């Protein structure tokens, strides 16, 4: 059983065709909304990702006729997206026991696999797989409002879907974040209210040592609400962004900056366009036409005290936003107490964060035309040590490693 937003990377689709040819019972939900449009310039845009999904399925020989029971069309809720990316393995002699789940942030597309940061997480746990199977069955009926419904009917249908999704999880949205159990807890959307989003942010805000989060679509207001009053005594937060957090003309909210005063380190997707430093030519996935909306950071995960003895990893398809909580089809897993999983995620986070941190700082300095006294070059004396003195943010960054639980 598969459930995908973008499903048009041919090698993967062909692998599913091979499985079908071997007699495997394959069932796949795809986002197939009809959302074609013509812009003000008269340019026509096909339904996305419907057209690419269906064209690829047809090209490899997988039947797209719903009556054949292979491809399930997710067409309801036209203004929202079926943003899931997961597979459930059903096995045993009768083929009715869910045993494993593959999930994460990776769209089955050329850009998703080769053009952005992404996560694929393999879970071998029958209880978790069973919950994903129930969620898949719910979505396979294409629930929610449809185009011809009036406003009142749309509200009733969409609210009914949220209640069905929430019923799969025993009111997890009412749990305090520190009551999240050890092990793996799936979280599905759409759901009512922002309690789950607040739960994630509270986890981050109340961490003892460090918190790390990837943000493909900017820093949500709720995150800033919690971090804005952090002091020198608080933990360090690392934010890995798709682009720099700065004021925009379109925003209706006053811009609030968070940074060193709140113990926040930020890094964002960037490449260096400078002949002096181009030992290897750099480019972006936009230039290569692999991705248009997100060129660098597409992962969606949160780490809370990953170096401690009770680490928390939150990972899945949902951006940490209102839309991903209230409107879209999404899935996340909260993994608590698994130090090996936390190690893997923290290592990957640091790899990407540090890769882009230099580029982001360099481009920011170049844009703001730093003076010689603010040069990025190495200091010729020991004045660089000032930034590492007790209480400074860089001191805390070094200190956090010393607090790592030994195991």
The rounded distance, in Å, linking the Cα atoms of 180 and 186 is: 11
Nearest CA to 191 out of 212, 160, 213 is that of 160
Longest dimension (CA), the chain: 74
Contact (CB, 8 A) for 310 and 336 = yes
Please tell me the predicted confidence (pLDDT) of residue 75. Answer: 96
What is the pairing mode between strands 236-241 and 264-268? parallel
Query: How does pLDDT run across 123-159, given as a tens digit for each residue?
Result: 999 999 999 999 999 999 999 999 889 999 999 999 9
Nearest CA to 105 out of 244, 242, 308 is that of 242
Please tell me the predicted confidence (pLDDT) of residue 404. Answer: 75
More confident residue, 285 or 50: 50
Please tell me the predicted confidence (pLDDT) of residue 356. Answer: 93
* Three-state secondary structure readout of the chain: CEEECCECCHHHHHHHHHHHHCCCCCCEEEECCCCCEECCCCCEECCCCHHHHHHHHHHHCCCCCHHHCCEEEECCCCCCCECCEEEEEEECCCCCEEEEEEEECCCECHHHHHCCECCEEEECCHHHHHHHHHHHHHHHCCCCCCCCCCHHHHHHHHHHHHHHHHHCCCCHHHCCHHHCCCEEEEEEECCCCCHHHHHHHHHHHCCCCEEEEEECCCCCHHHHHHHCCCCCCCCEEEEEECCCCCCCCCCCCCCCCCCHHHCEEEEECCCCCCCCCCCCCCCCCCCCCCCCCCCCECCCEEEECCCCCCCEEEEECCCCCHHHHHCCEEEEEEEECCHHHHHHHHHHHHHHHHHHHHHHHHHHHHHHCCCHHHCCCCCCCHHHHHHHCCCCHHHHHHHHHHCCCCC
Contact (CB, 8 A) for 133 and 125 = no
Please tell me the predicted confidence (pLDDT) of residue 31. Answer: 97
Percent of the chain past pLDDT 70, that is, above it, reads 94
Please tell me the predicted confidence (pLDDT) of residue 277. Answer: 63
Contact (CB, 8 A) for 53 and 45 = no
How does the average pLDDT of the chain come out, rounded? Answer: 90
- Residue 374 Cα distances to 20, 365, 369, 370, 371, angstroms: 61, 9, 9, 6, 5
Residue 401: how many other CB atoms lie within 10 Å:
10
Please tell me the predicted confidence (pLDDT) of residue 141. Answer: 97
The rounded distance, in Å, linking the Cα atoms of 328 and 81 is: 5
Going by pLDDT thresholds of 50, 70 and 90, the confidence category of residue 367 is confident
Please tell me the predicted confidence (pLDDT) of residue 372. Answer: 47
Residue 371: pLDDT over 60? no
Query: How does pLDDT run across 78-122, given as a tens digit for each residue?
Result: 999 999 999 999 997 676 899 999 999 999 999 999 999 999 999
Domains in the chain, start-ordered, CATH in brackets? 2-167 (3.30.870.10), 172-402 (3.30.870.10)
Nearest CA to 247 out of 261, 257, 262 is that of 257
Percent of the chain past pLDDT 90, that is, above it, reads 72
Please tell me the predicted confidence (pLDDT) of residue 370. Answer: 56
Q: What is the mean pLDDT of residues 368-385?
A: 72
Query: How does pLDDT run across 155-210, given as a tens digit for each residue?
Result: 999 999 999 999 998 777 667 888 899 999 999 999 999 999 999 999 999 999 99
Task: List CB contacts of 308: < 8 A, sequence separation 6 or more.
Answer: 208, 209, 403, 404, 405
Strand partners, 157: none
Q: What is the mean pLDDT of residues 73-78?
A: 96
Residue 376: pLDDT over 70? no
- Residue 57 Cα distances to 68, 250, 355, angstroms: 14, 38, 36
The rounded distance, in Å, linking the Cα atoms of 370 and 365 is: 6
Which structure tokens are listed for 127?
């209880």
Nearest CA to 77 out of 28, 164, 143 is that of 143
């Amino acid at each position: 059983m598969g459930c995908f937003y973008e499903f048009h990377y041919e090698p993967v689709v062909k692998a599913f065709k091979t499985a079908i040819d071997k007699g495997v019972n394959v069932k796949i939900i795809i986002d197939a909304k009809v959302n074609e449009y013509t812009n003000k310039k008269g340019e026509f845009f096909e339904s996305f990702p419907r057209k690419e999904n269906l064209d690829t399925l047809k090209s490899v020989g997988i039947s797209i006729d719903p009556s054949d029971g292979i491809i399930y069309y997710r067409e309801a809720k036209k203004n929202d997206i079926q943003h899931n990316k997961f597979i459930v393995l059903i096995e045993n002699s009768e083929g009715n026991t869910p045993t494993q789940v593959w999930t994460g942030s990776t769209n089955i597309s050329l850009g998703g696999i080769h053009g952005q940061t992404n996560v694929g997480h393999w879970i071998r746990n029958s209880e978790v797989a069973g919950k994903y199977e129930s969620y898949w069955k719910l979505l396979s009926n294409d629930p929610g409002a449809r185009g011809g419904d009036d406003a009142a009917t749309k509200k009733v249908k969409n609210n009914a879907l949220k209640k069905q999704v929430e019923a799969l999880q025993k009111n997890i949205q009412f749990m305090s974040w520190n009551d999240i159990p050890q092990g793996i807890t799936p979280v599905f959307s759409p759901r009512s209210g922002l309690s789950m989003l607040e739960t994630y942010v509270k986890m981050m805000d109340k961490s003892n040592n460090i918190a790390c989060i990837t943000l493909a679509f900017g820093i949500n207001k709720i995150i800033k609400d919690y971090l804005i009053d952090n002091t020198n005594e608080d933990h360090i937060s690392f934010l890995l962004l798709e682009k720099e957090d700065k004021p925009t003309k379109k925003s209706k909210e006053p811009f609030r900056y968070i940074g060193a005063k709140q113990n926040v380190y930020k890094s964002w997707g960037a490449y260096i366009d400078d002949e002096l430093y181009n030992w290897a030519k750099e480019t972006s996935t936009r230039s290569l036409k692999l991705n248009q909306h997100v060129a660098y950071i597409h992962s969606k995960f949160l780490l809370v005290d990953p170096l401690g003895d009770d680490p928390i990893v939150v990972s899945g398809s949902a951006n940490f936003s209102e839309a991903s909580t209230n409107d879209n089809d999404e899935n996340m897993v909260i993994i608590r107490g698994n130090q090996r999983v936390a190690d893997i995620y923290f290592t990957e986070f640091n790899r990407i964060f540090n890769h882009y941190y230099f580029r982001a700082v360099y481009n920011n300095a170049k844009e703001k035309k730093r003076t010689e006294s603010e040069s990025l070059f190495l200091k010729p004396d020991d004045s660089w040590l000032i930034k590492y003195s007790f209480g400074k943010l860089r001191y805390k960054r070094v200190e956090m490693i010393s607090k790592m639980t030994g195991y």
